[in-house]
A and B are shown apart, each in its own frame.
Chain A
Amino acid sequence: MSTEVAVVGFAQAPHVRATEGTTNGVEMLVPVFAELFAETGMTKEDIGFWCSGSSDYLAARAFSFIAAVDAIGAIPPINESHVEMDGAWALYEAWLKIRTGEVDTALVYGFGKSSAGDLRRTLALQLDPYTVAPLWPDSVSVAALQARLGIDAGLWSELAMAEVAARAGGGDAVDLLGQPYIADPLRRHDCAPITDGASAVILASGDRARELRERPAWITGIEHRIDSGSLGARDLTTSPSTVASARAAGVDGVEAAELHAPFTHQEILLRQAIGLDDTVSVNPSGGPLAGNPMFAAGLSRIGEAARLVFDGLYGRVLAHATSGPALQQNLVCVMEAR
């Protein structure tokens, strides 16, 4: 019998265009940890394993995550690890750790200060450094290529994209089409805002989870996959890694989904890839179009979806996280009440 693991707590920093805090996340993380401990009645001594996700490039310095440990107050020393990825993948590592039976609780956090640099140019440095990155194709332009391919293939339209934006941010879809392009066919409302932020989640196993929360969000499936890093070598109108992750995680019966789609066409693409029908409520939190803190936004999707279970609004939910240009790497986490 495999170990049961549940999300039992979630907190996040306010999504802001630019925090005055440092790039190591400490100023954003301290209140987030305090909120989590207040919510669950735990202390840092109750945490068996810590894992974080962040990026040195966003912070423009080497070993940036080391200073974030100051937000914990890691004396006595902690059992800890870090992924250079969105915090959603740190949660995957923590989920593994609990399943080994070595620990029964874990605190996972992600943080990023996008405002410290020029995000579109920074993300261009994720591309092949020998042949692609020297051309500086920025992240919005790469997403625009994907949006155009989908439109040309008849999979979505500029109007369908505007309808996604209108649902997330208000306004009338037809009116939105009057706005100018920023990277044809993307308009400002098609793109997630540049956001600083941090989020944190507590995981617990079996009886410990039941002690900590009346309605824990039990993880029934969590899977992730990666596609090729060569933009020309994959079909950008779909996402094989999302399709495979969703199939492996088991998405039947999902009532609500938090999708990490930083661009409107990607929400449509992800719904198709995961196989969500119109009865599924997508991004009730507002999703990344309302706030997209790099390296925390994927973890926030898991936290937001779990909160829908905590609050008794839904019985079975899905969270998705992405990383890399044009949805290269994807994670799907399915949770339910018991």
Chain B
Amino acid sequence: MKQPAAVLGVGQTHHRAKRLDVSMAGLCREAIDRAMADAGVDWDGIDAVVVGKAPDLFEGVMMPELFLADALGAVGKPLLRVHTAGSVGGSTANVAASLIHSGVHRRVLAVAFEKQSESNAMWALSIAPPFSMPVGAGAGGYFAPHVRSYIRRSGAPEHIGSLVAVKDRHNGARNPYAHLRQPDITLESVRASTMLWDPIRYDETCPSSDGACAIVLGDSSAAHKDSAWIQATAMRTEPTTFAGRDQVNPRAGRDAAHALWREAGISDPLQEIDAAEIYVPFSWFEPMWLENLGFAAEGQGWKLTESGATAMDGQLPVNASGGVLSSNPIGASGMLRFAEAALQVMGRAGDHQVDGVRRALGHAYGGGSQYFSMWVVGNEKP
């Protein structure tokens, strides 16, 4: 029943705070054209289009896929619009994969974008609907208490977050598409940057980016010899607030990872995954998600980070692309993680290629840490 699916090609835009040179249509098309060229596919070969982005208020257009239908090459084809909060880029790739897994389509284009400069994300997140807990301090204000709680529970030293920021920005400097490219950043400069939401400093946060990512997926008959096979996908959701919720180590993330490793036939992810692209918008989420994903025992994730295991030349390189800390077009950020994982498997990551990647993880999360989507891609057909 379940048909194998593979990543045939990926493309992304150059990410910037404001891409004033392109419209939303132009931004998407920049990523799509690169993905189609990378996959060696023309429009006649695309059976369906799946598009994802985070809230429509981020650009100020209701259901922008409607006016973008021509630019996305979707006219006359099926078009699905996915929205699962910050995890949406990953979910969009997973939904596109299900179009192939189900045997319904042979080749599918998935695209995700965010053009944050068209509106104001802070405004879009600051609306106070009735009967809901107001945040009013952006995502950093929401997540800072979780980070503080992680530090308290794990006993992690306070420089761990800064170590991650330095690593990811150094990695980002090797990625020509990254928004922030800071080869000269140091532990001391990060530690000296402004405290925004204690304990999160300015240099430990993600930028606000315009950008897009596209992936072409195909079935067995469409795959090339160097395609990245999708070996497992998983999505899980839990409510934002209830008394028993652990926001430092959410159960939805643990359940999704458990299902993912089981489907991929992985019993020890630290040994069996060669590179990971993990959604880390604030640097402290690297050790937190290492634990949530099962790469480290609870309370031990920061030790893996501190040991250098997550560096480019470590046991588990995490975010060789520079990650969300280097580019954050919100709706596309998850798909960028999934696409970068595929690039590592295909050996096409250029200056940020990790040697000998056979299996890689793409991970995304969203909302108040309650939406999770993940995939494992590898060079062996499942």
Contact = CB atoms under 8 A, between A and B. Distances in A.
Given A62-B124, A89-B80, A241-B76, A80 B62 contact: no
Contacts of A129: 24, 59-61, 64, 67, 118
A109 B91 CA distance: 18
Contact of B238 (A75, A83, A100): A75
Contacts of A62: 54-55, 57-58, 124-125, 127
B199 interface: no
A83 B56 contact: no
Contacts of A22: 129-131
Q: How large is the interface on A (under 10, 10 to 19, 20 to 34, 35 or more residues)?
A: 35 or more
Given A65-B83, A102-B2, A133 B95 contact: no
Interface string A98-116: 0111100000000000000
A77 B238 contact: yes
Contacts of A79: 235-237
B70 A233 contact: yes
Given A85-B80, A97-B98, A100-B98, A23 B129 contact: yes
B249 to A, nearest CB: 13
Interface residues of B, number: 65
A102 B94 CA distance: 13
Interface in A220-273: 223-230, 233, 240-241, 244
Given A62-B58, A126-B66, A324-B63, A223 B236 contact: no
B252 A77 contact: yes
A228 B2 contact: no
B69 A93 contact: no
Nearest to A58: B62
Nearest to B123: A62
B10 interface: no
A293 to B, nearest CB: 17
A97 B242 CA distance: 29
A229 B79 CA distance: 12
Interface string A201-223: 00000000000000000000001
A99 B62 CA distance: 31
Contact of B102 (A81, A100, A225, A226): A100
Contacts of B77: 225-226
A98 B188 CA distance: 52
A247 to B, nearest CB: 12
Contact of A96 (B98, B131, B368): B98
Nearest to B85: A63
Interface string A60-100: 11111111011001111111111111000100110011011
A172 B286 CA distance: 68
Given A84-B63, A93-B98, A130-B23, A56 B75 contact: no
Contact of A60 (B59, B82, B127): B127
Interface string B5-41: 0000000000000000001100000000000000000
B103 interface: yes
B349 interface: no
- Please indicate which of the listed interface residues A2, A62, A89, A241 has the most CB atoms of chain B within 10 Å of its own CB: A62
22 contacts: A3-B1, A55-B62, A62-B124, A66-B370, A67-B132, A69-B239, A75-B244, A80-B235, A81-B91, A81-B235, A84-B56, A85-B80, A99-B103, A100-B2, A122-B62, A126-B63, A133-B61, A225-B79, A229-B67, A230-B70, A324-B63, A328-B69
Interface of B: 1-2, 23-24, 54-64, 66-70, 74-85, 91, 94-95, 98-99, 101-104, 118, 124-125, 127, 129-132, 235-240, 242, 244, 251-252, 255-256, 367-368, 370-371
A-B pairs with the 6 shortest C-beta distances?
Answer: A101-B1, A62-B55, A77-B252, A99-B102, A229-B67, A57-B62
